[in-house]
Amino acid sequence: MDNFFDIPLQYNATHHHFSAELVTAGYSYKIIVDVKGKIISFEPDEEGYFRAVVSPDDMEADKNIERDLLEAIADQLVLMFKD
């Protein structure tokens, strides 16, 4: 089974495609996304949304990763994985 897919996203008036992989473990899963060369993990929360799992130190160290971009990717994942 192929667990790799693209996340198409319109962000800041530019069209992007992010490479992603669905990783399952038991009853849970996460989505690993390549965001501008940085690997970010997105996990589903209790309300059916996704959250980026990244430490504040990593966010501070890598100025290429914008909080708004991570939120936009999470929103797109909700749309893609909606029942």
- Is a pLDDT exceeding 90 seen at residue 76? yes
Work out how many domains the chain is built from and give that number: 1
Q: What is the rounded distance in angstroms from the CA atom of residue 11 to the CA atom of residue 24?
A: 28
Model confidence pLDDT, tens digit, residues 35-65: 988 899 999 998 989 999 987 777 777 777 7
Structural domain of residue 29, as residue ranges?
A: 4-80
Non-local (6+) Cβ contacts of 47 within 8 A are none
Q: Mean pLDDT score of the chain, rounded to an integer? A: 89
- pTM, to two decimals: 0.88
Model confidence pLDDT, tens digit, residues 61-73: 777 778 899 999 9
CB 73 within 8 A of CB 17: no
